[in-house]
Amino acid sequence: MKQSIIINGTKHEINVDSDMPLLWFLRDELEFTGTKFGCGKGLCGACTVHVNGQAIRSCITPVSTLVDKQITTIEGLSENGDHALQRAWLNNKVPQCGYCQAGQIMNAASLLAVNPAPTIEEIEASMQGNICRCGTYQRITKAISEAADTLSKEA
C-alpha cells in the first residue's frame, strides 16, 4: 500500500522519490505554490510549514519522514485567511515583495501556539531564522505582538 501524507486536512499519496523534500512535493507535484523556495538549506525560512502544528523547514525535510503526519501550509493556516496573524499582517501592511511572508507567518503561528504572549526578545529569537531582504522586520515584530494581543482578547 502506498504511503500518504495529510496536507491541510487532505490525504495525498506519496508518489515520489522518498528523498524529495516536502517543499518540492508541495510545489511541483501538488502545485501548492504558497510555500516558497529560498535557499534549499534551511537557512532562510521561506519554506516554513507546520508538521503537527510545529514549524519546520520544508526544503530540508524529506517527504518520507512525514508519513501520516498533519501538514499545514499557508494555504491551510485558516479557513478564510483570517488567522489573527494574517489580520495583523494586513493591518500593519507588512509585505513588500511578500515572497518570504508565508514562511514568516507560519513560523510566527508556531511561536504563538506555544507562547501566546511572547516578549519582543522572544519574538526576535523565534523569528531569527526567517530572512526578509526587503526589510519588513520592524512590522513583522509589531504584527506578531498585535496578533498575540488579539488572541488573548479573543480567548
Partner 1 sequence: MSNSTVSRRHFLKIVGVATGGLCISIALPGNVLAEKGIIEDSSTELNAFIHLDENGDTTIYCGRCEMGQGISTALPSAVADEMEADWQRVTVKQGDADEKFGPQATGGSASIRKMYLPMRKAGATAKLMLIAAAAKVWKTSPDNCYAQSHFVINKLNQQKLGFGELASIAKNMPIPDTVTLKKKSEFNYIGKELARHDQNEVVVGKRTYGVDTKMPGLKYAAMIHCPVLGGSIKSVDKTLALKMKGVTDVIEIPRFDVPFGSIGGVAVVADNTWTAQQAVEKLKVEWDLGENVVYNTKEYKQQLVANVEKPATLAKERGNVHRALKKSKHKHKATYTGGHLSHSPMEPNASVVWVQKDSCEVWASTQSPVDIQKVLGQYLKREPTDIVVHVAMAGGAFGRKFKCDYVHEAAVISEKTGVPIQLIWSREEDMRTGYYHSINAQHIEASMDEQGNVTGWLHRAAFPSIPSLFDPSLVRAPKGALSAISNHLFGVQSIRVESGDAKAHTRIGWYRAVNAIFYGFAFSTFADELAYKAGKDPLTFVNQLFDNNNKKKQKKDIKRIKAVLALVAEKSNWHNRENLPEGQGIGLAVHYSFKSFVAMAVHVEVKNDDIKVLNVDCAIDCGQILNIDGATAQMEGAVVMGMSLALTTEITFRDGAVVNSNFHDYPVMRIADMPNVRVHITDSDKSPTGLGEPGVAPFAPALSNAVFAASGKRYRDLPFKPMAV
Burial class (CB in 10 A: 0-12, 13-18, 19+), 70: middle
Q: Scanning residues 40 to 79, which ones bind partner 1 (CB under 8 A)? A: 40-41, 43-44, 46, 73-75, 77
Among 38, 71, 109, 146, the residue binding partner 1 under the rule CB under 8 A is: 38
38: nearest Cα among 103, 109, 134: 103
Rounded least distance, CB 59 to partner 1, Å? 10
DSSP type of residue 25: I
Q: Are 73 and 110 in contact (CB under 8 A)?
A: no
Question: Of the ranges 50-58, 101-109, 111-119, 146-154, which one interacts with partner 1 (CB under 8 A)?
Answer: 101-109
The verdict on 13 binding partner 1 (CB under 8 A) reads no
The verdict on 118 binding partner 1 (CB under 8 A) reads no
Residue 32 C-alpha cell reads as 501548492
Residues 6 or more apart from 28 whose CB is under 8 A from it? none
Binding site for partner 1 (CB under 8 A): 16-17, 19-21, 24, 27-29, 31-41, 43-44, 46, 73-75, 77, 81, 86, 89-90, 93-102, 105, 123-125, 127-141
